[in-house]
Amino acid sequence: MVMSSQSVRSDGGDSPFRSAGLADLHLHSVHSDGTESPAEVMRCAFAHGVRTAALTDHDRISGWSEAAGAALGLGMTFLPGMELSMKTELRTLHMLAYLFDPDNAPLRAEADRIRRDRVERAQRMVRRIGKDHHIRWDDVISAAPEGATIGRPHIADALVARGIVSTRGEAFTEILDPGSRYYEPLYAPDPLTAVRLITNAGGVAIAAHPVTSGPESFLSRKEIDELIEAGLGGFEIDHRDNTPDGKAMLQAIADEHDLIVTGASDYHGDGKPNVPGENSTTQEMIARIIERATGTAPRFPDARNIVQRSDDRA
């Protein structure tokens, strides 16, 4: 991707945000369902030309300090983030949250509750699957990286390791799909609650991949209007799973309401084809996120560590 001269210029007034290079605001580590440590994720992002990065593990912030340390050491700007689970009656959805106060009690409690239920729900699913297939909870534990919040991806890995299915994808379509008889719903707040929790914690709420092709994750116009009313900051538009029609619709709404729009990879490490920096967020939009947030500050690198664009050959 060629950066225009405008993107190297600071649009944030007095903001120290002047980082050139790609900006990827949606990355996962082993603290949720990624395959790499937070530091490895930052190194991988850097190697792909990313100079501003956010770690957005599902419902969890425990990777922040390691990621920030690695990012700053590489001269990158780091935005603390999280991808909060939420759901409507029919669908599970995700809300990206940036620069919120990590000590905000209501948001912390909700994220803790979702994580606890994710593990208990995984145990319930494994008990159901275990009636028909040779799989136990211990197999799932062995399939998960240390410290991971156990979820369906790890059940999938255990099913593969046991030879019950041949790939993670097959595990999801055959056994872990919401239509499957083994499926158990996950606790999550509704989207309005999610936006309010993030906003009240001083964070910026950006709807993650809101227009993917499956009927499962499509937000209606009415739902979107309600979220904007509740303080939604914007949309993650440039994401590989958003449909072209959906992107055009979101861009029109964003223009109409002057919302933030982002682009990101949703990198998970080895398990998925997504590559850091495959989509990028403009410097102007990052400056707007920083300006809007009041929960915590972005972490800016020491000037000595900043790699100039002419040296971007990592």
Q: Is 31:303 a contact under the CB 8 Å cutoff? A: no
Stretch of 61-69, 99-107, 181-189, 261-269 lying at the interface with Zn ion (CB under 5 A)? 261-269
Q: Is 77:19 a contact under the CB 8 Å cutoff? A: yes
> Which residues is 262 bridged to in the sheet?
236
Q: Which helix (H) or strand (E) holds 247?
A: helix 244-257
278 touches Zn ion (CB under 5 A): no
- Least distance (Å) between residue 45 CB and Zn ion: 14
- Least distance (Å) between residue 226 CB and Zn ion: 20
Closer Cβ to Zn ion, 83 or 139, answer by number: 83
Closer Cβ to Zn ion, 7 or 37, answer by number: 37
- Least distance (Å) between residue 166 CB and Zn ion: 25
Closer Cβ to Zn ion, 10 or 212, answer by number: 212
In this structure, the strands spanning 92-98 and 77-87 are antiparallel
Stretch of 115-123, 174-182, 210-218, 262-270 lying at the interface with Zn ion (CB under 5 A)? 262-270
Q: Which residues contact 256 (CB under 8 A, 6 or more apart)?
A: none
CB burial readout 193-205, b (16+ within 10 A) else e: bbbbbbbebbbbb
Q: Looking only at residues 101 through 160 of this chain, which bind Zn ion when binding is defined by CB under 5 A?
A: none
Q: What is the dihedral of CA 180, 182, 187, 191, to 10 degrees?
A: -10
236 touches Zn ion (CB under 5 A): no
- Least distance (Å) between residue 151 CB and Zn ion: 12
Stretch of 12-20, 212-220, 252-260, 265-273 lying at the interface with Zn ion (CB under 5 A)? 265-273
Binding-site residue total for Zn ion (CB under 5 A)? 4
- Least distance (Å) between residue 152 CB and Zn ion: 13
Stretch of 34-42, 124-132, 227-235, 266-274 lying at the interface with Zn ion (CB under 5 A)? 266-274
- Least distance (Å) between residue 106 CB and Zn ion: 22
Q: Looking only at residues 71 through 90 of this chain, which bind Zn ion when binding is defined by CB under 5 A?
A: 83
By rule CB under 5 A, what string of x and - marks binding of each residue 170-209 to Zn ion?
--------------------------------------x-
- Least distance (Å) between residue 124 CB and Zn ion: 22
- Can you tell me which of 43, 51, 94, 154 binds Zn ion, judged by CB under 5 A? 94
The DSSP call for residue 189 is -
C-beta neighbour count of 153 within 10 angstroms: 23
Closer Cβ to Zn ion, 153 or 295, answer by number: 153
Q: Is 79:98 a contact under the CB 8 Å cutoff? A: yes
266 touches Zn ion (CB under 5 A): yes
Closer Cβ to Zn ion, 96 or 293, answer by number: 96
Q: Which helix (H) or strand (E) holds 237?
A: strand 234-238
Q: Is 72:46 a contact under the CB 8 Å cutoff? A: no
- Least distance (Å) between residue 193 CB and Zn ion: 17
As separate numbers, helices (DSSP H) first and strands (DSSP E) second, the chain gives 11, 7
The closest residue (CB) to Zn ion is 94
**C-beta pairs of 113-119 under 8 Å, 24+ apart in sequence:** 113/187, 114/59, 114/84, 114/85, 114/186, 114/187, 114/188, 114/189, 115/59, 115/60, 115/149, 117/186, 117/187, 118/59, 118/85, 118/149, 118/150, 118/151, 118/186, 119/149, 119/150, 119/151
- Least distance (Å) between residue 130 CB and Zn ion: 28
Summarize as ranges the residues that interact with Zn ion (CB under 5 A): 83, 94, 208, 266
